[in-house]
Amino acid sequence: MNVSRALVLTATLLASAPLLADTSAGSIGYNQWGVCPPIPPAAVPVTSAPAASTGNPSTYVSADQVTGYVHGESLLTGKVRAIQGDRLLTAQRMQYDSTTGNAHAVGDVQYRSRNLLLQGPVADYNLNTARGVFEDTHFSLPRRHGRGSAKVLKALDKNHEQLYDMQYTTCPVGRHDWMLHAPDLELDQSTNTGVGHNVTIDFFGVPIFWTPYINFPLNDARKSGFLAPSFGFSAFTGTDLTTPYYLNLAPNYDATLIPRIITKRGFDMGGEFRYLTNSSKGRIYVSYLPHDRLANRERGLLNFNDNTALEDGWNLNTAYNWVSDNQYFQDLGNSLATIATTSLERHVQLSYATQDWNFLTQAQEWQIVDPLVPPSAYPYRLLPQTLFTWQSNPASSGPQYAFNSELVQFQQDGRLGALRLDFKPSASYTFGNAGYYFTPTAAMRVTEYNLDQNVPLGTQTQLSRITPIVSLDSGLFFQRSVGDNGNYIQTLEPRLYYLYVPYRNQSQIPIFDTIQPQFSFLQLFTDNRFYGADRQGDANQLSYALTSRLLDTASGSQLLEADIGQIRYFSNRNVQLPGVAPQTRLFSDMVGDIILNLNHNWSTDYGQQWNPSTRRTDLASIGIQYHPAFHQVINLAYRYNRSLALRQTDLSFAWPLTRHWSMVGRWNYDLKNKVTLESFAGFEYDSCCWTFQVVSRRYITQTGQANAAIFFQLQLKGLTTIGRHLEDFLQNGILGYSGPTQFN
């Protein structure tokens, strides 16, 4: 083991030990060392001499003056240089024994390798065995932007090193914003471990972390130890502190203990267990608060996920999620993303898939954690649901065939239950070429019900519906070159879609899982205006639409897409959800959207749904984004929905103010009620060796209460992150916060 590897492994400790767990690049996103002054590389002239009998390259020694040469020993003075392969040892004076490789260097001693620069007043080093002692050394690791010092560095043998009174930082020379102190470190290559005692981290001279003992791996292997703590403050919880402890139990499973102190509520104990085998992987997470002082009750959470590959291509997937009450995430959500959780899924799924067909059977239910949803609106339990789909090879010519089926048992406490069978065979054939297509499709939908739970007296328990479906889909493709030099291609794509579904009275069929989605451009070309099998919409209608695109011939990128379309109805739509009257309009709303990418920096999208009967807009949205570079983004959006009486504006941004300072923010405002739904603002400071974020957020909860929270994150570059991890929250709240060019 040589001294170069000793220092590199010491730096690896700082990046790989769970106690000082390194994280992904900071929120600034681009090259995290971009604001640092350049560090000159530890350049070393490399010799190409053959290896000596010891297995090491030959050593070349030079100096201004050589005194004496007895049995291989000599005294070299003045610009002494000893070069061996890619290693260089220099000093003002050196006693060197060419037979043993021993060197005693004094005066401005420097040791250089490809990854290391080491400086000190004196060193005893063996160039053949790479063993020795360096005293009062200062070292630099240019590739890691790290530097530090050690009172003594001892290379004991090929597998063991010791460092005493070591300090380490990634701050540039002359700055000590943060510093790691370790009185002693022992590195053992034979066991791939390191041991340190009394380790302290200072930030501007203030100790922010200390541990009496650390045992860490010398490479990327996992190791038990403390992870970075997490801090936050909220009006609902007070100060929130989490200090996870990682347990490396085995190569294929591990655990994390997650104690959490919430000053206004109490002590919460959480834990995570992960496992990985040849056929399965999974995760169990639990959290338990014995007594919430504000809610005056015990509270808990359980998440379990498992995916197991069975024999012959079968797969088993299991998920179970539970919380003690429907206010849990509002009160105790430890990340801003979980606060908006409204439901938790539980299922056991068995599936099999081939190129032509797919099979899935599952038992599924949901726990609703939105206090505003009444029990009468809870989704049904599926006990079980079985899905089978098949289609012929779409790459083959000739007719195409498909078959979709579902068998499901619906159950819910105190509500009507049923067994439903739904299947739909179909056949189609496409005529056409590059300029046009014409595809007739015929299908038959058969749905059977057996009402078997909580059936009112006098209600028919056996229900059925058989519905033929016929559609004709056709389109044309036109294109032309535009621009002075034909740099762009404009397309014109008219499309006609005729759908005929005869009326079938379905008023006696209960609603188990069917909804009517918001009308959109894509619904112009579907054969059912409902989602779910409880309703098959009757139809005698023609959809007509036009799409135009503008393409860059050089890059193939799409600069513009514009769509507009409408449905002409030839009969009333009598099949509706309960309580909805038959629809008699001759024309649907006109729907359209425009997506415009002006250049790499500017983009905008606009969508509108216009009612020709009232000559009013029912739905509209517009968004504009300016995104010239990573972490430079401004978004402005407006959303309007007449039926929901919704009018909202949304402004969000992330923008650098100076070389080191950036600002982030969002303001989501309800124009109708004149209330701010959510707002946050924060600052980020990015220095060469540390980054700090602070974000203040105010928002309206699901129950209409106003809450405020403050979160911060401190990243010591090349070492660890302390505080609440904010990247997920900022990426959800600011469209384009992260991008594809995160690193230079």
| 414-461: pLDDT as tens digits | 889 999 999 999 999 999 888 999 999 999 999 999 998 888 888 888
pLDDT of residue 28: 40
**For residue 614, what are its two tokens?**
């009232």
Domain assignment present for residue 175? The answer is no
Least confident range from 51-65, 235-249, 257-271, 470-484: namely 51-65
Domain assignment present for residue 685? The answer is no
Residue 403 or 697, more confident? 403
Residue 329 or 366, more confident? 366
Distance, CA of 344 to CA of 324 (rounded, Å): 12
pLDDT of residue 339: 61
pLDDT in tens, 256-278: 999 999 898 999 999 999 999 99
Rg (alpha carbons) of the chain, rounded to whole number? 35
Which whole number is the average pLDDT over 18-36?
49
pLDDT of residue 23 exceeding 60, the answer is no
Which residue is associated with the tokens 């014109």? 492
Which whole number is the average pLDDT over 324-337?
73
Residue 538 or 110, more confident? 538
Domain assignment present for residue 722? The answer is no
Phi, psi (5° rounding) for residue 223?
Answer: -150, 140
Residue 106, Cβ density class (10 Å: 0-12 exposed, 13-18 middle, ≥19 buried): middle
CA dihedral 394, 556, 620, 738 (to 10 degrees): 100
pLDDT of residue 175 exceeding 50, the answer is yes
pLDDT of residue 46 exceeding 60, the answer is no
Domain that holds residue 295: 238-341
List of residues 6+ apart from 283 with CB closer than 8 A: 272, 273, 274, 275, 303, 304, 305
Residue 582, number of CB atoms within 10 A of its CB: 11
Residue 227 confidence class, pLDDT cut points 50, 70, 90? confident
pLDDT of residue 26: 37
Which whole number is the average pLDDT over 181-187?
84
Distance, CA of 568 to CA of 616 (rounded, Å): 18
Strand, coil or helix: what is 524? helix
What is the count of structural domains for the chain?
Answer: 1
Residue 358 confidence class, pLDDT cut points 50, 70, 90? very high
Arithmetic mean of pLDDT over the chain? 83
Least confident range from 38-47, 107-116, 672-681: namely 38-47
pLDDT of residue 44 exceeding 50, the answer is no
pLDDT of residue 440: 96
pLDDT of residue 494: 96
Least confident range from 164-168, 285-289, 440-444: namely 164-168
Domain assignment present for residue 655? The answer is no
Domain assignment present for residue 126? The answer is no
254, 246 contact by CB (below 8 A): yes
pLDDT of residue 629 exceeding 70, the answer is yes
Domain assignment present for residue 109? The answer is no
Domain assignment present for residue 538? The answer is no
Residue 63 or 706, more confident? 63
pLDDT of residue 163: 84
pLDDT of residue 740: 31
Domain assignment present for residue 321? The answer is yes
> Which range, 224-238, 296-310, 597-611, is most confident?
296-310
